Amino acid sequence: MDYLDLMKSLHVQNDRKIVLLVMDGLGGLPVEPGGKTELETANTPNLDALAKVGVCGLSSPVGPGITPGSGPAHLALFGYDPIKYEIGRGVLEVLGIGFPLQPDDVAVRGNFCTVDANGVLTDRRAGRIASDKSAELCRLLQGIRIPGVETFVLPVREHRFAIVFRGPGLDAHLSETDPQVTGKPPLPLVATAPEAEQTAKLVNQWIEEARALLAGHHPANMFLLRGFAKDPSLPKLSDVCGLRAAALSTYPMYRGVAKLVGMDVLDAGNSLDDELAAMEANWQKYDFFYVHVKATDSRGEDGDFQAKVRVIESVDGAMPRLMALRPDVLIVTGDHSTPAAMKSHSWHPVPTMIVAPFCRTDEVEEFSERACARGGLGHFQAVELMPMAMANALKLEKFGA
């Protein structure tokens, strides 16, 4: 079942407001057997009080055992089946830095890297060169001219950049050049479908010119390309759900995904406080707010259990300010788990709660993995969250007679 189709045919508009608060990588693990997770360790009186009046459960971003990237994990939260709808990494990257991608553009993510005299990869991230240096190299590469193709070489952060190729008939079915390990040369770029042969030729021309330009710029004397992609033309939340939706995220990629589903991206500053201020300032203009907190994931990736606990506690501290807006439906969840014990995204389902007048409160009295496992929402697919949000906002009509 595609919930987008159902929601599209059933949605109605009203004044009720939905807030989707996403603590990136929220779900966790104990560091020792029998111990507590990050969320269970954190002192979260506000979230616990909300769990008490709300309904809780565990959501699976893609499916049991599947560890999702941020793109599919967020698509699922927004109601899009992450198996059916795919966003290429290149697209996420350029939308995240605010580039106005056009429907036929081909975007790709680049990493500056280091190669030795034989062209063999010695550092896949060029020593994580400074963002300034990276921007300077992008300006250098911007000078390359390929007949019939306009190129945009866009700095992202540290060693990361992106390229957009614009021109008639370009196709994104192209292989990646990142061998994923050092000790090998970058892979040759080839077309993975016949319709991309011409594009492969043009991009290979660009690569050769760029290789020559970078030769003297050790450690950033080469680059790796990953995730060639076009705008996937996703259905927009305004059409699917009739929502005026706003996104608040301090981190480019999440703003990019939000744009893809048709959200307005608001200036979210640099912190959850800034995000809340922006939400307060725009409260009347929208009926759906996606609020993203990145640091839970970052501290999980760092493997810093206590720091992740402190991030969760700081979000807990911000809940009274958020609830002062009186959202009709509040959802608190994560896009996936990032246990500090694993220093990476994981497959574990994510603690989730819905707080709304008709949410049918369960017996859960605290917001934690263990408590959510026996909550009234049960174990569910993240893609089901949006229909539940819409239902709790009384924005879905009856299906059938």
Binding status of residue 72 toward its own copies by CB under 8 A: yes
Q: Judged by CB under 8 A, which of 208, 239, 363, 365 binds its own copies?
A: 363
The nearest distance, CB 148 to its own copies, in angstroms, is: 29
Query: Contact at 8 Å (CB) between 364 and 50?
Result: no
Supply φ then ψ for residue 104, to 5 degrees: -100, 5
> Is 192 near its own copies (CB under 8 A)?
no
Q: Is 346 in the site for its own copies (CB under 8 A)?
A: yes
> E strand or H helix at 322, and its extent?
helix 305-323
Choice from 41, 46, 70, 249 touching its own copies (CB under 8 A): 70
C-alpha to C-alpha distance for 251 and 263, rounded to whole angstroms: 15
Which of the residues 225 through 254 are near its own copies (CB under 8 A)? 227
Distance separating alpha carbons of residues 336 and 250, to the nearest angstrom: 18
Applying CB under 8 A, what is the total number of residues that bind its own copies? 68
Q: Measured from the CB atom, is 166 or 370 closer to its own copies?
A: 370
Binder of its own copies out of 8, 69, 269, 277 (CB under 8 A) = 69
* Contact flag: residue 25 with its own copies (CB under 8 A): no
Which residue is it, tokens 């994510």? 350
Binding of residue 181 to its own copies (CB under 8 A): no
Strands 150-157 and 121-123, by their bridges, are unpaired
Between 23 and 390, CB nearer to its own copies: 390
3 interacts with its own copies by CB under 8 A: yes
H/E element holding 361?
none
* Among positions 174, 245, 318, 389, the unique one binding its own copies when judged by CB under 8 A: 389
Find out whether 72 and 349 touch, Cβ atoms under 8 Å: no
Please say which residue, 174 or 279, places its beta carbon nearer to its own copies: 174
SS3 157: strand
Quote the Cα angle for 160-345-275, to 5°. 70
Residue with smaller CB distance to its own copies, 68 or 186: 68
**What are the structure tokens assigned to 319, written together?**
């809940």
In the complex, minimum distance from the CB of residue 217 to its own copies, in angstroms, rounded to a whole number: 27
The sheet carrying 350-355 orders its strands as 264-265, 245-248, 288-293, 18-23, 329-333, 350-355, 55-60, 378-381
| Contacts with its own copies, residue ranges (CB under 8 A) | 1, 3, 6, 10, 29-30, 33-34, 37, 53, 58, 62-73, 82-83, 86-87, 89, 92, 227, 339, 341-342, 344-348, 358, 360-363, 369-370, 373-380, 384-392, 396-401
